[in-house]
């Protein structure tokens, strides 16, 4: 990979044009200290862990369990330290220009697996399909439970580098009365794209990833500078899902998984979809784990929010799972400029992921 010419270019997100990343591959050649991330806990069972089997009394009460409460494989409990909670009588708090929206909502923990330190790619596909079904079912229940809920976010922090405070593998689900800005931007820009081109931009990007080749010419000499086979962004492909390395990835090993056929909401997921998604997800995580050497990551589901503003977005928005492995800490430059820097090009990263032996 090192024989390739260093790249230094700013790439604009095709979905949200206000988001861009700086791909600067020469930076990875800078000498740097070996900073291995804090190791993650790989034990199978921990006597004092509240999420381990047999310690159910140490957590808040069970919200639901799959397949059954007595012999659970996945279990949902209330979060002991919720970021959103029950109604506050005060309503919206307004302080001059700074407005705080009332913190109504629900925050729950999904214990992904009974085994304490198991990584996602070590779980069986049948288990993963079940877990993906639990995400969908709980999401639906939360939307149904209160019509003020605008968005239900499912996410997972895995490993200390990703901010997981409890080592036992778990996901979280937050039902909120507002739509987060990054999601709003995706919905807004993809709707504009649809109005102009009568196409879902995510579907177009998938088609492009599967078929296109492009040639980049040097502006002055007119000679070929680089040939891009857009297929080189594909990391993993199933019958119904595809894992893609985004052209403008914020994180070096960031991968998105999308349904091949258009679906706007995760609630549209069928049983056959779940099985294929489980397979694509497990294989993608195995590739990441093999290449990074123990992936610590955040992942989250972006699905169409609820509300009048989103009623006409069924054809333009396309739900997806964003996986963001954490291999470096954002610096002042990134926080100050909002411009994420990656030191490996998405094309090289995708090639390495595809080549990984799993
Ligand atoms: Zn545990
Ligand atoms: Zn689509």
How many alpha carbons fall within 13 Å on the CB side of residue 198? 0
Within 10 A of 332 (CB to CB), how many other CB atoms are there? 7
Which ligand is nearest the CA of 51, by number? 1
Q: Which ligand neighbours the alpha carbon of 116 most closely?
A: 1
| Domain map (residue ranges) of the chain | 14-28+45-85+100-355
Cα of 107 from ligand 1 centre, angstroms = 20
In this predicted structure, what is the pLDDT of residue 200?
97
What is the 183 CA–ligand 1 centroid distance (Å)?
32
Query: What does the pLDDT read at residue 288?
Result: 96
Each residue's pLDDT tens digit, 334-357: 888 888 888 899 989 999 999 999
Task: Please choose, from the candidates 184, 136, 146, 204, the residue with its C-alpha nearest in 3D space to the C-alpha of residue 313.
Answer: 184
Q: Is 111 exposed, middle or buried (0-12, 13-18, 19+ CB in 10 A)?
A: buried
263 burial via Cβ count (<10 Å: 0-12, 13-18, 19+): buried
Q: Tens digit of pLDDT for each residue in 60-80? A: 889 999 999 989 999 999 887
Point out the ligand nearest to the CA of residue 201.
Answer: 2
How far does residue 47's CA lie from ligand 1's centre (Å)?
Answer: 8
CA-to-CA separations, 48 to 22, 62, 77, 184, in angstroms, rounded = 44, 18, 17, 41
The bound ligand whose nearest atom lies closest to the alpha carbon of 113 is 1
- The count of other CB atoms within 10 Å of the CB of residue 268 is 16
Q: Residues with Cβ within 5 Å of ion ligand 2?
A: 200, 202-203, 262, 318
Confidence (pTM) = 0.88
- The CATH classification number of 14-28+45-85+100-355 equals 3.30.428.10
Write the DSSP string, 14-73: SS-TT-EEEEEGGGGGS-----PPPPPP--S--TT-TTSTT-GGGSSPEEEEES-STT-S
| Residue 165 alpha carbon to ligand 1 centre in Å | 12
- Measured in angstroms, how far is the CA atom of residue 82 from the centroid of ligand 1? 20
* pLDDT by position in tens, the chain (length 358): 445 678 888 888 888 888 888 888 865 545 444 456 677 888 999 999 999 999 999 998 899 999 999 899 999 998 877 767 665 545 554 444 444 555 678 889 999 999 999 999 999 999 999 999 999 999 999 999 998 899 999 999 998 888 888 899 999 999 998 898 899 999 999 999 999 999 999 999 998 888 756 666 777 888 876 666 657 899 999 999 999 999 888 899 999 999 999 999 999 999 999 999 999 999 999 999 999 988 899 999 999 999 998 999 999 999 999 999 988 877 888 888 888 888 899 989 999 999 999 9
């Amino acid at each position: 990979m090192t024989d390739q010419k260093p790249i230094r270019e700013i790439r604009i997100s095709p979905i949200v044009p206000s988001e861009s990343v700086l791909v600067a591959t020469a930076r990875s050649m800078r000498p740097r200290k070996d900073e291995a991330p804090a190791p993650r806990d790989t034990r199978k069972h921990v006597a004092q862990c509240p999420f381990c089997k047999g310690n159910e009394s140490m957590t808040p009460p069970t919200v639901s369990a799959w397949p059954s409460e007595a012999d659970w494989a996945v279990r949902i409990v209330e979060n002991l330290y919720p970021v959103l909670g029950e109604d506050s009588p005060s309503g919206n708090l307004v302080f001059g220009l700074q407005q705080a929206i009332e913190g109504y909502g629900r925050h729950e923990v999904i214990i992904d697996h009974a085994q304490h330190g198991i990584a996602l790619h070590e779980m069986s596909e049948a288990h993963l399909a079940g877990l993906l079904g639990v995400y969908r079912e709980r999401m639906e229940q939360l939307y149904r439970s209160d019509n003020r809920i605008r968005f239900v976010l499912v996410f997972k922090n895995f490993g200390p580098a990703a901010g997981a405070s409890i080592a036992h593998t778990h996901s979280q689900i937050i039902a909120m009365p507002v739509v987060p800005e990054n999601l709003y931007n995706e919905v807004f820009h993809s709707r504009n794209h649809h109005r102009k081109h009568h196409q879902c931009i995510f579907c177009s990007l998938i088609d492009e990833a599967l078929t296109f080749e492009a040639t980049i010419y040097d502006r002055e000499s007119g000679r070929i500078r680089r040939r891009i086979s857009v297929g080189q962004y594909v990391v993993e492909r199933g019958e119904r899902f595809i894992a893609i390395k985004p052209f403008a990835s914020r994180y070096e090993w960031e991968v998105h998984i999308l349904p091949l056929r258009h679906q706007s909401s995760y609630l549209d997921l069928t049983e056959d979809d779940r099985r294929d998604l489980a397979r694509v997800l497990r294989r993608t995580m195995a590739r990441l784990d093999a290449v990074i050497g123990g992936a610590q990551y955040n992942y989250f589901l972006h699905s169409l929010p609820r509300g009048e503003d989103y009623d006409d977005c069924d054809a333009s928005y396309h739900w997806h799972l964003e996986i963001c492995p954490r291999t470096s800490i954002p610096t002042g430059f990134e926080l100050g400029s909002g411009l994420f820097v990656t030191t490996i090009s998405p094309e090289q990263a995708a090639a390495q992921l595809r080549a990984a032996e799993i």
